[in-house]
Chains A and B, each alone.
Chain A
Amino acid sequence: MKSNLERVLREKKFAVTAELGPPRGADPDNVREKARILKPYVDAANVTDNQSAVVYMCSLAASVLMIEEGLEPVFQITCRDRNRLALQSDLLGASALGIRNVLLLTGDHPSIGDHPEAKGVFDLDSQQLIQLTKKMREEGKLLNDRELTKSPDFFIGAAASPFNEPLEAHMMQMEKKVESGVDFFQTQIVYDLEKFKKWVSEVHERRIDEKAFIIAGVAPIKSLGMANYMKNYVPGVSVPDAVIKRLEKASDKKKEGIKICLEVIDEVKKIKGISGIHIMAIGWEEAVPEIVESAGLFPRPAFKE
Chain B
Amino acid sequence: MIVAEIKPLEEIKEMVKDKKGVLLVGCNTCTAVCFSSGKRELELLQTQLDLSLENPKPAFWQVIVRRACEPEMVTEISDYTREVEAILCLSCGIGVQTLSDIFPKKQVFPALNTSFLGRPEKLGFWQEVCVACGDCILHLTGGICPLSRCAKGLLNGPCGGSHEGKCEVSPDIPCAWEEIFTRLKEKNQLNMIRKTKEPRKVIRKPRYLLREDIFEDEK
Contact = CB atoms under 8 A, between A and B. Distances in A.
Instruction: Please tell me whether chains A and B touch each other in their complex, using a CB distance cut-off of 8 A.
Output: yes
A123 B178 CA distance: 20
A165 B195 CA distance: 20
Given A109-B169, A112-B168, A169-B178, A176 B162 contact: no
A168 B154 CA distance: 18
Interface of B: 151-165, 167-169, 177-178, 181-182, 185, 190, 193-199
A213 B167 CA distance: 28
Contacts of B160: 106, 159, 161, 164, 170, 188, 235-236
B156 A128 contact: yes
Contact of B199 (A143, A159, A170, A179): A143
A131 B199 CA distance: 10
A170 B168 contact: no
A166 B178 contact: yes
Nearest to A233: B168
A109 B199 contact: no
Contacts of B177: 169
Interface string A165-182: 110111011001001100
Interface of A: 80, 84, 106-109, 111-112, 120, 122-128, 131, 143, 159, 161, 163-166, 168-170, 172-173, 176, 179-180, 188, 235-236
B199 A128 contact: yes
Contacts, number: 90
A122 B154 contact: yes
A231 to B, nearest CB: 12
Contacts of A126: 156, 159
A120 B196 contact: no
Given A126-B156, A169-B162, A235-B161, 15 more contacts: A109-B168, A111-B169, A112-B168, A120-B152, A125-B156, A128-B198, A161-B160, A163-B163, A164-B164, A165-B163, A166-B182, A169-B177, A172-B181, A172-B194, A176-B195
30 contacts: A106-B152, A106-B159, A109-B161, A125-B152, A125-B154, A125-B155, A126-B156, A126-B159, A127-B156, A128-B155, A128-B197, A128-B198, A128-B199, A131-B196, A161-B160, A166-B182, A168-B185, A169-B158, A169-B181, A170-B158, A176-B194, A176-B196, A179-B196, A180-B196, A188-B160, A235-B160, A235-B161, A235-B168, A236-B161, A236-B163
Given A109-B152, A109-B169, A235-B163, A124 B199 contact: yes
Nearest to B157: A125
Contacts of A172: 181, 190, 193-194
A131 to B, nearest CB: 6
Contacts of B197: 128
A106 B154 contact: yes
Nearest to A238: B163
A80 B154 CA distance: 11
A170 B162 CA distance: 9
B163 A122 contact: no
A240 to B, nearest CB: 16
A176 B156 contact: yes
Q: Which 10 A-B pairs have the closest CB atoms?
A: A127-B156, A169-B181, A161-B160, A127-B196, A122-B152, A125-B154, A235-B168, A106-B159, A235-B161, A165-B164
Contacts of B159: 106, 125-126
Contacts of A107: 152
Contacts of A131: 196
